[in-house]
Amino acid sequence: MSSYASFYARSIASREAFWAEQARLIDWETPFSKVLEYDNPPFAKWFVGGRTNLCHNAVDRHLPSRATQNALIWVSTETDQERVYTYAELSAEVNRMAASLASLGVKRGERVLIYMPMIPEALFAMLACARLGAIHSVVFGGFASVNLAARIDDARPKVIVSADAGSRNGKVVPYKPLLDEGIALAKAKPANVMLVDRGLAPMARVEGRDVDYAVLRAQHMEAEVPCEWLESSEPSYVLYTSGTTGKPKGVQRDTGGYAVALAASMQHIFCAQPGDTMFAASDIGWVVGHSYIVYAPLLAGMATVMYEGTPIRPDGGIWWRIVEKYRVTQVFTAPTAIRVLKKQDPAYLTQYDLSSLRLLFLAGEPLDEPTARWITEGLGKPVVDNYWQTETGWPILGIARGVEVVPSKLGSPGMPVYGYDVKLVNEATGEDCGPNEKGVLAIEGPLPPGCMSTVWGDDARFVKTYWETVPGRLLYSSFDWGVRDDDGYYFILGRTDDVINVAGHRLGSREIEESIASHPAVAEVAVIGVQDALKGQVAVAFAVLRQSDAAATPEARLALEGDVMKIVDRQLGAVARPARVFFVSMLPKTRSGKLLRRAIQAICEGRETGDLITLEDPAALEQVRDAVRGG
Give the pLDDT of residue 515: 86
Classify strands 475-484 and 490-495 as parallel, antiparallel or unpaired. Answer: antiparallel
Is residue 278 included in any domain, yes or no?
no
Q: Is the pLDDT of residue 471 over 90?
A: yes
Q: Reduce the DSSP state of residue 173 to 3 states and report it.
A: strand
Give the pLDDT of residue 67: 98
Give the pLDDT of residue 71: 98
Give the pLDDT of residue 165: 97
Position with higher pLDDT, 123 vs 514: 123
Angle at 45 between CA 43 and CA 51, to 5 degrees: 150
Q: Is the pLDDT of residue 414 over 50?
A: yes
Q: What residues contact residue 503 under an 8 Å CB cut-off, 6+ apart?
A: 334, 336, 337, 364, 365, 534, 535, 536
Residue ranges of alpha helices (H) inside 405-503 are 459-467
What are the respective helix, strand and coil percentages of the chain, to the nearest 5?
A: 35, 25, 40
**Mean of the pLDDT values across residues 200-215?**
97
Is residue 167 included in any domain, yes or no?
yes
Cβ-based burial of 103 (10 A; exposed 0-12, middle 13-18, buried ≥19): middle
Q: Is the pLDDT of residue 315 over 90?
A: yes
Domain boundary among 228, 245, 277: 228
Say if CB 213 and CB 196 are below 8 A apart: yes
Give the pLDDT of residue 591: 52
User: What confidence category does residue 592 fall into, taking pLDDT thresholds of 50, 70 and 90?
Assistant: very low
Give the pLDDT of residue 590: 58
In whole angstroms, how far apart are CA 245 and each of 185, 362, 511? 20, 28, 7
**Mean of the pLDDT values across residues 156-171?**
95
> Quick one: residue 83, left, alpha or beta (phi over 0 = left, psi -120 to 50 = alpha)?
beta
**Residue 226 carries which DSSP code?**
P
483 forms beta bridges with 491
Domains in the chain, number = 2
User: What confidence category does residue 507 fall into, taking pLDDT thresholds of 50, 70 and 90?
Assistant: confident
Furthest-apart CA atoms within the chain: distance in Å: 73
Is residue 256 included in any domain, yes or no?
no
Distance CA 192, CA 346 (A): 49
CATH number reported for the structural domain that contains residue 576 in this entry: 3.30.300.30
Identify which of 20, 98, 22, 18 has the alpha carbon closest to the alpha carbon of residue 56.
Answer: 98
Q: How many CB atoms lie within 10 A of CB 411?
A: 14
Q: pLDDT digits over 293-310, tens only?
A: 999 999 999 999 999 999
- One-letter amino acid at 86 equals T
**Residues making up the chain, counted from first to last:** 631
Q: Is the pLDDT of residue 593 over 60?
A: no
Angle at 389 between CA 437 and CA 143, to 5 degrees: 135
Residue span of the structural domain in which 603 resides: 499-630
Q: pLDDT digits over 548-560, tens only?
A: 777 778 888 899 9
Say if CB 280 and CB 355 are below 8 A apart: no
- pTM across the whole model: 0.85
Please state which of the ranges 53-67, 340-354, 431-445 shows the lowest mean pLDDT: 340-354
CATH number reported for the structural domain that contains residue 132 in this entry: 3.40.50.980
**Residue 62 carries which DSSP code?**
G
Is residue 67 included in any domain, yes or no?
no
Q: Is the pLDDT of residue 246 over 80?
A: no
**Mean of the pLDDT values across residues 2-9?**
94
Distance CA 344, CA 329 (A): 23
User: What confidence category does residue 513 fall into, taking pLDDT thresholds of 50, 70 and 90?
Assistant: confident
166 forms beta bridges with 173
177-199 b/e with 16+ CB inside 10 Å = b? ebbbbbbeebeeebebbbbbbbe
Q: Is the pLDDT of residue 613 over 50?
A: no
Give the pLDDT of residue 595: 72
Q: Is the pLDDT of residue 244 over 50?
A: no
Instruction: Give the H or E element holding residue 600.
Output: helix 597-604
583 forms beta bridges with 543
**Mean of the pLDDT values across residues 394-408?**
96
Angle at 390 between CA 389 and CA 391, to 5 degrees: 85
Q: pLDDT digits over 595-605, tens only?
A: 777 789 889 98
Is residue 419 included in any domain, yes or no?
no
**Mean of the pLDDT values across residues 452-471?**
96
Q: What residues contact residue 396 under an 8 Å CB cut-off, 6+ apart?
A: 387, 388, 389, 416, 417, 420, 422, 441, 443, 478
State the DSSP string of 121-162.
HHHHHHHHHHHHTPEEEE--TT--HHHHHHHHHHH--SEEEE
Classify strands 249-253 and 454-455 as parallel, antiparallel or unpaired. Answer: antiparallel
Is residue 211 included in any domain, yes or no?
yes
In whole angstroms, how far apart are CA 562 and each of 173, 527, 565? 20, 16, 5
Cβ-based burial of 202 (10 A; exposed 0-12, middle 13-18, buried ≥19): exposed
Is residue 143 included in any domain, yes or no?
yes
For the chain, give the mean pLDDT: 92
Q: Is the pLDDT of residue 40 over 60?
A: yes
**Residue 282 carries which DSSP code?**
S
Domain boundary among 228, 246, 270: 228
Identify which of 253, 322, 260 has the alpha carbon closest to the alpha carbon of residue 296.
Answer: 260
**Mean of the pLDDT values across residues 97-116?**
98
Report for 166-170, 243-247, 330-334, 338-342: range of highest mean pLDDT: 330-334
Q: Is the pLDDT of residue 392 over 60?
A: yes
**Mean of the pLDDT values across residues 602-617?**
71
Identify which of 491, 456, 455 has the alpha carbon closest to the alpha carbon of residue 476.
Answer: 455
Is residue 189 included in any domain, yes or no?
yes
Q: Is the pLDDT of residue 1 over 80?
A: no
Give the pLDDT of residue 437: 94
Domain boundary among 228, 252, 285: 228
Q: pLDDT digits over 254-265, tens only?
A: 999 999 999 999
